[in-house]
Amino acid sequence: MKLDNKIAIVTGSGQGIGRDIALKLAGEGAAVVVNDLEPEKGQAVAAEILSAGGKAIACNGDLTEDGFAEKIVDAAVDQLGGLHIVVNNAGYIWNSAIHNHSDEQWDAMMDIHAKAPFRVLRAAGRYFREQVKAERAAGAIPCRKVVNISSISGVYGGPTQISYSAGKMAIIGITNTLAREWGAMNITVNAVAFGFIETRLTQYFDDDAATINVKGRDHKVGFKSELQDQMLNAIPLHRVGNTADAAGAVYLFCIPESDYITGETLVCSGGRK
């Protein structure tokens, strides 16, 4: 149990990649704060962890709402007893070519992929500072971990993803900055940039695009099936990643073996660039 006695927040963990991250960390001993925009999904993952003998609570709601970042950090501290790991995973896509891209799209993508993680980390940072003062006086500061989720669209760009790419690059800037700012507190801050991971956002379709509903609005997601071979050929490992692959990459930055790695962005894409 490499994460025994650790307490983690995983945003957007009611399904997909976030769910597998929460299950992975819990399986290694961490107590997890599960979060999702859809309460029933967050509750289900927390219940799944509890039924497997782990520790979890759900703190569901909209990360972009004023005050929610403080609420989720307080949930970890007050209900589980502290905070050691923050995984900023929540997000979704809302794509269109730039000539059709609205201010609303831009704001939505920046809010969830940059502003919400910033707020969570600001709230966590205030708690960390107070804890580290006491720990330094006691002579032992544990290594805490932040893992921010980016995308190869943030690293390399992606057609029709101007605001999504901007948000995912912003989180890399946040990562690099906090790695330097928080190093003295023995906090590592890293990012994982995902490539093509098989989720509801990347599903294949034949006729009409699939949709997801976020805050009452339907967003088109996925790729036409005719592009499947083309996309697979662009991946050196010649397979689409799954949510367990994605969770494994995040886990690497949460375990003690990565205590001397900070300010890095790991691309988890099967070699695709």
Q: Catalytic residue positions?
A: 164
Measuring CA to CA, which residue among 70, 72, 42 is closest to residue 58? 42
- Distance, in Å, from the CA atom of 155 to the CA atom of 100, rounded to the nearest integer, reads 23
**Range list of β-strands (E), 73-123:** 85-88
Taking the CA of residue 106 as centre, how many other CA atoms within 13 Å lie in the half-sphere pointing to its CB? Answer: 8
Q: How far apart are the first and last CA of the chain?
A: 34
CA distances, 49 to each of 26, 57, 59, 173 (Å): 7, 9, 14, 33
Q: At residue 1, what is the residue type?
A: M
- Distance, in Å, from the CA atom of 93 to the CA atom of 161, rounded to the nearest integer, reads 8
> What is the token pair recorded at 29?
């001993």
Largest CA distance in the chain: 63
CA distances, 145 to each of 60, 83, 101, 195, 261 (Å): 22, 9, 35, 22, 10
